[in-house]
Chains A and B, each alone.
Chain A
């Protein structure tokens, strides 16, 4: 499961800590900055038209009125009337039906999908989630950006704003109305998608007696065999002496098989598919590193690689250590986990000597008891092959060899001997080959703790689409309070791509501010940019300049009288871009479809963080929309 960012708990995320400012602080500072610059910009525009003193009076009056009049007189009845009107408009104008038809077409089209895959569930889920996501956001964008401009164009706004309805109630009513429409469509899509996925994956096999070869003697029902080929695959299976068994995995799933005596004949019954639609719950630990001398520290950076992971050097004391809480027999009952403790790893391998590039690098797993007074200190060293970009699932057996306090090798029970009384357990990962490195971050190793309901997880995947829809609607309504329909549509696409390319813009920004220039140093300190990060080759203007001068990206630029201004223009531009970026959410952070597609439960804390972020964003957009609508002339 390729998540490549740290999942924080809600309180870690919200509150300030030593290493990060916390989301609350971030929200408050953004709000303060936005209010300040918003008011300033507004004043400047007003001063241009009305003169400085009159402008100050009018801006102050609107802000004062917002708190003295509009806020205390806010009416839920009016807001809901507006929301209901919005819903009725969408329904009566039959906008929705176009989309419903579109959805149906799309879903039926995907019935012709080629079904051969190692993980068909992922393909099915990916299709429904992506098409839902696409359609819902399109619906949200189109509805929200054109509604208010249409009211202004058709002048229905005249009859509206000459009633006691407040600008805030119009904006909020529109947002709530569109959200209701979107929610209805999304709920329908969710239900249709669920049915589509379940039906699409549903199949059954039959086992014909002639395909089974009995291997046991006498009363034993032990046998080998294979099922019929249905839905383009078949399964081989082995039964034990009692006649029970499970098939081999084909196309990502297996079936339970049972031999039943029927008179003097034997019938073979095969159950429904299992393991396709799952929602595994990963259990994450806390990661720390030992450096190559075995001292606590950070892992090392291997240079111009992505800084997210830290690396440990092979054949040294360096190790990555995960500490897991709550590893108790209750959490991992042996009837559900018969083989051992299931872990999943997603390590990066960094080779400094390539040699035989095909063979994997050997890694080492050691399970350690965190308690100093434990009789058994650690398990034996288990080795595993590590390949680049491959996630691997392993099981650490319950019964294994270990080393006790005296250094003797003894038999140990994982849960009894290697877990401390507080239920904690450490897993150490080392790289087993000299001059090679393993790169790891906290989410890269976790315990597969269990499963939750797939339906619930499927719904959670749709909640993240819903959150993005609400953000898009708020943003669309905000733009449409100021701009005409097509222009707000354009503004929507620009801000959406801003959110989409945010990581690229960030890296470009970091790259532009590398160097010894004092201004660059100030900005670097302000934005916590580490030296040596970001993209090489400068900003947009510098890149063009480099193309004409035929300078490659890493060549140093001689800073003459032409180059200096170019860099300063780039720096200003990128600073503005970076600040704008602050205002638009990174939509990819709201995308939980990967979790659902790969069969992992969506982390509840992550969902809560996304919800709070989305609501904070939408509320800000609504507030800005309120001021826009309040201060513009609605008649032309």
Chain B
């Protein structure tokens, strides 16, 4: 297993820099030298899954936890939820200990695979979780109907979850995480197992939730997805924090400048190109590449599927 990027040697420096501007009330999640050992039957430490993690997640941001399999992402999320108890260190959510049940009033959790009761239908599932928040029946009914519509499951709401496809289950999972209109959402691999369309919808949904002022922590190893939605990321490897910071500043390549230009229907003329090279050379730079951008496969897939939805029965390519 190798880290997708060369790992930064120290983790504490960016953490301290990132924490600079925040005030105490803004901090939603805080971990202090959070450590987790998995033990064997006799209580002897077997694996150190997380080593002295220091993190802060602030209100209103989308925070991504990245790392290869077994890097401690899920462990971190489970520690934050109180599903695991730390070996040492502290995990605080809304300033309370992570094992405090009271914090659950304000959070929503989408597990890695939607671990839901397969013998219930979507309506019953959401109604059940609503009851766990002590919602009165009338409020619950409205909220459940609303969520089912939001995730687009009106037609399937009376079918048992055992008959659902993976994508549908994921939607119910998201709906149950939103049942209490949480301030903080913890999403464990939100896009795993979804087709590109589902992934796109999920990402849209996450951005929408951010716009509503919610704080979101997601972990994923699908880097493109993280890049698209996250404000800040932390990269974990073998239980250690390797990199932490804003996505845009982490990814910015400072010594390369990119210029995009529009309006040339037949592409850039050779004269224009020569002029541009001359200007750059005059200022002491050199041109690496001048080319037409390619679109991503994801965008191509999405436009194709959308076009097919609009005009069923024809190949999208034939429309020209």
Q: Is the Cβ of B133 less than 8 Å from the Cβ of A159?
A: no
Q: Is the Cβ of A155 less than 8 Å from the Cβ of B111?
A: yes
For residue B115, CB closer than 8 A to chain A, the reply is: yes
A634→B102 CA distance, assembly (Å): 17
For residue B101, CB closer than 8 A to chain A, the reply is: yes
Least Cβ–Cβ distance between B296 and chain A, in angstroms? 34
For residue B43, CB closer than 8 A to chain A, the reply is: yes
For residue A77, CB closer than 8 A to chain B, the reply is: yes
Q: Is the Cβ of B115 less than 8 Å from the Cβ of A156?
A: yes
Assess A158 versus B104: contact at CB under 8 Å? Given A48-B43, A634-B83.
no
CB neighbours (8 Å) of B104 from chain A are 162-164
Q: Is the Cβ of A633 less than 8 Å from the Cβ of B84?
A: yes
For residue A165, CB closer than 8 A to chain B, the reply is: yes
A633→B36 CA distance, assembly (Å): 12
A623→B211 CA distance, assembly (Å): 44
For residue A566, CB closer than 8 A to chain B, the reply is: no
Assess A69 versus B109: contact at CB under 8 Å? Given A159-B116, A161-B83, A163-B129.
no
CB neighbours (8 Å) of B180 from chain A are 163
Least Cβ–Cβ distance between B140 and chain A, in angstroms? 10
Q: Which residues 154-193 of B sit at the A interface, judged by CB distance below 8 A?
A: 160, 173, 176, 180
Interface residues on B, range: 20 to 34
Interface centre among B83, B100, B101 (most CB of A within 10 A): B101
Q: Is the Cβ of B134 less than 8 Å from the Cβ of A75?
A: yes
Q: Is the Cβ of B176 less than 8 Å from the Cβ of A159?
A: yes
A634→B114 CA distance, assembly (Å): 16
CB neighbours (8 Å) of A77 from chain B are 131, 134
Q: Is the Cβ of A162 less than 8 Å from the Cβ of B83?
A: yes
For residue B119, CB closer than 8 A to chain A, the reply is: yes
User: A135-160 toward B: CB 8 Å interface, digit per residue (1/0)?
Assistant: 00000000000000000001111111
Q: Is the Cβ of A81 less than 8 Å from the Cβ of B84?
A: no
Q: Which residues 165-198 of A sit at the B interface, judged by CB distance below 8 A?
A: 165-166
Least Cβ–Cβ distance between B74 and chain A, in angstroms? 9
CB neighbours (8 Å) of A559 from chain B are none
Q: Is the Cβ of A155 less than 8 Å from the Cβ of B115?
A: yes
Q: Is the Cβ of B102 less than 8 Å from the Cβ of A164?
A: yes
Q: Is the Cβ of B109 less than 8 Å from the Cβ of A81?
A: no
Least Cβ–Cβ distance between A105 and chain B, in angstroms? 26
Beta-carbon nearest neighbor of A62 in chain B? B99
User: A481-517 toward B: CB 8 Å interface, digit per residue (1/0)?
Assistant: 0000000000000000000000000000000000000
CB neighbours (8 Å) of A88 from chain B are 119-120, 124
CB neighbours (8 Å) of A274 from chain B are none
CB neighbours (8 Å) of B176 from chain A are 159
For residue A236, CB closer than 8 A to chain B, the reply is: no
A165→B85 CA distance, assembly (Å): 18
Q: Is the Cβ of B134 less than 8 Å from the Cβ of A78?
A: yes
A574→B117 CA distance, assembly (Å): 46
For residue B132, CB closer than 8 A to chain A, the reply is: yes
Q: Is the Cβ of B111 less than 8 Å from the Cβ of A165?
A: no
Q: Is the Cβ of A78 less than 8 Å from the Cβ of B83?
A: no
For residue B128, CB closer than 8 A to chain A, the reply is: yes
Assess A633 versus B85: contact at CB under 8 Å? Given A78-B132, A159-B176, A164-B105.
yes
A84→B82 CA distance, assembly (Å): 25
Q: Is the Cβ of B119 less than 8 Å from the Cβ of A165?
A: no
A633→B82 CA distance, assembly (Å): 8
CB neighbours (8 Å) of B105 from chain A are 164
A156→B117 CA distance, assembly (Å): 7
Least Cβ–Cβ distance between A293 and chain B, in angstroms? 69
Least Cβ–Cβ distance between A165 and chain B, in angstroms? 5
Q: Is the Cβ of B43 less than 8 Å from the Cβ of A81?
A: no
For residue B78, CB closer than 8 A to chain A, the reply is: yes
Choice from A70, A160, A162, A165 contacting B107 with Cβ under 8 Å: A162
A157→B117 CA distance, assembly (Å): 10
CB neighbours (8 Å) of A89 from chain B are 117, 119
Interface centre among B78, B101, B132, B133 (most CB of A within 10 A): B132
For residue A92, CB closer than 8 A to chain B, the reply is: yes
Choice from B43, B111, B128 contacting A158 with Cβ under 8 Å: B111
For residue A85, CB closer than 8 A to chain B, the reply is: yes
User: B62-101 toward A: CB 8 Å interface, digit per residue (1/0)?
Assistant: 0000000000000000100111110000000000000011
For residue A93, CB closer than 8 A to chain B, the reply is: yes
Q: Which residues 42-96 of A sit at the B interface, judged by CB distance below 8 A?
A: 48-49, 69-70, 73, 75, 77-78, 80-81, 84-85, 88-89, 92-93
Least Cβ–Cβ distance between B258 and chain A, in angstroms? 43
Q: Which residues 129-143 of B sit at the A interface, judged by CB distance below 8 A?
A: 129, 131-134
A466→B156 CA distance, assembly (Å): 40
A93→B119 CA distance, assembly (Å): 7
Least Cβ–Cβ distance between B96 and chain A, in angstroms? 11
For residue A635, CB closer than 8 A to chain B, the reply is: yes
Beta-carbon nearest neighbor of B85 in chain A? A633
CB neighbours (8 Å) of A49 from chain B are 39, 43
Beta-carbon nearest neighbor of A85 in chain B? B128
Beta-carbon nearest neighbor of B188 in chain A? A158
Q: Is the Cβ of B133 less than 8 Å from the Cβ of A162?
A: no
A49→B44 CA distance, assembly (Å): 9
A156→B114 CA distance, assembly (Å): 8
Least Cβ–Cβ distance between A585 and chain B, in angstroms? 32
Q: Is the Cβ of B101 less than 8 Å from the Cβ of A156?
A: no
Least Cβ–Cβ distance between B195 and chain A, in angstroms? 23
Beta-carbon nearest neighbor of A163 in chain B? B132
A85→B105 CA distance, assembly (Å): 20
CB neighbours (8 Å) of A166 from chain B are 101
CB neighbours (8 Å) of B116 from chain A are 156, 159
Assess A81 versus B83: contact at CB under 8 Å? Given A156-B115, A156-B117, A158-B111.
no
A163→B111 CA distance, assembly (Å): 13
Residues of B within 8 A of A (CB): 39, 43, 78, 81-85, 100-102, 104-105, 107, 109, 111, 113-117, 119-120, 124, 128-129, 131-134, 160, 173, 176, 180
Q: Which 10 A-B pairs have the closest CB atoms?
A: A81-B131, A92-B119, A635-B83, A163-B132, A155-B115, A162-B109, A164-B104, A165-B132, A635-B78, A156-B115
Task: Give 27 pairs: A residue, B residue, CB < 8 Å, sorted on A.
Answer: A70-B101, A75-B134, A77-B131, A85-B120, A88-B120, A89-B119, A92-B119, A92-B160, A93-B119, A154-B115, A155-B111, A155-B113, A156-B117, A158-B81, A158-B115, A159-B116, A162-B82, A162-B104, A162-B109, A163-B132, A163-B133, A164-B101, A164-B134, A166-B101, A633-B83, A633-B85, A635-B84
